[in-house]
Amino acid sequence: MNLDTPLADGLERAKRFEQGLQQVVLGQERPIRLLTLAVFARGHALLEGSVGVGKTTLLRAVARGIGGDYERIEGTIDLMPNDLVYYTYLDEQGRPGVAPGPLLKHGEQLSIFFFNEINRARPQVHSLLLRVMAERSVSAFNREYRFPYLQVFADRNRVEKEETFELPAAARDRFMLEIAIEPPADPAHIDQILFDPRFYDPDRLVASAPADTLSFRELNGIAEALQGGIHVSARLRAYVQDLWRATRRPEDFGIALHEADSGDMIEAGSSPRGMSYLVRLARVQAWLSGRDRVEPEDVQYVFAPAVGHRIFLKPVYEYRRAELIPELVGKLIRRIAAP
């Protein structure tokens, strides 16, 4: 390891940040690592998981660890784009008024915006959110509001499908990662969560996490230095390009799926943006592992959560997505020769 001093200093703080999250939400080492990667790669993330597995608690702990303000909104069938920007009210004298909504009220202090059950909101709402994610700005009240430190996290209700609007390909592609959060499997962790009173009060639990381990205003600078300071060899670049080609035409690499024609299955493979996100995440994973050079295992660690949701299947296969995409991603990692 030969990390520059700023990156070495940042690495120590990143480890404390990650350890603080692990104290709050037990048995979620991989999701926490992926969230840490997203924080330092400065990307948005889509969370997948059942109700009550700690997604909101985890994001509140992330906001506490990096500082800045946290805001959450619930997706509903009647939510409109303006509900993110402003709300109207009657004051004590009965006169109408307008106040900044959840996106605007914190200004540049907003560091974490959590959209709960995003698939319950209408496509018009998704459209506004996509602009905020892409440009970190929004126009309102005849001016431009900017959010230079903002990260957007969202989750989907995967149990109830009534009155939901699934995210289109363009919306899913805006998320750097899709992170699966499942109930813990370790009996010791389950015992603590069920019987230790510390886990009964989410507010007190979040308050017990280390505060301001990182500075949200410094993260953009750390991320830029990190991307410039962690190297990718020519052989690894060729490996990533092979993976990219294989997401579009797996049959060219001799990859076939059980009971599916892989040559006729894929509508579109990963986008250029998606593969650049993969490289950014792999650099952060190498850095968190104490290295100044990306290795194949860094790419493989982030490949499924960075690329799986960017492979789009033809309609006849889409209903089997939960079965086919993990199989395809696994075969891509196993069959494409790593340097």
Residue 175 has pLDDT above 90, yes or no: yes
Say which DSSP state 242 is in: H
Question: Which pLDDT belongs to residue 265?
Answer: 84
**pLDDT tens-digit series, residues 26-47:** 999 999 999 999 999 999 999 9
**Closest CA relative to residue 337, chosen from 274, 256, 246:** 246
Distance CA 257, CA 329 (A): 11
**pLDDT tens-digit series, residues 204-256:** 999 988 888 889 999 999 999 999 999 999 999 999 999 999 999 988 888 88
Residue 5 has pLDDT above 80, yes or no: no
- Distance of alpha carbon 225 from the chain centroid: 21
Question: Which pLDDT belongs to residue 254?
Answer: 86
Tokens of 269: 């493979």
Average pLDDT on 76-105 reads 88
Length of the chain: 339
CA pseudo-torsion sign 53, 57, 62, 65: negative
DSSP E strand stretches across the chain? 45-49, 69-74, 86-90, 96-100, 110-116, 137-140, 143-146, 151-155, 177-181, 266-268, 312-313
Entry pTM:
0.92
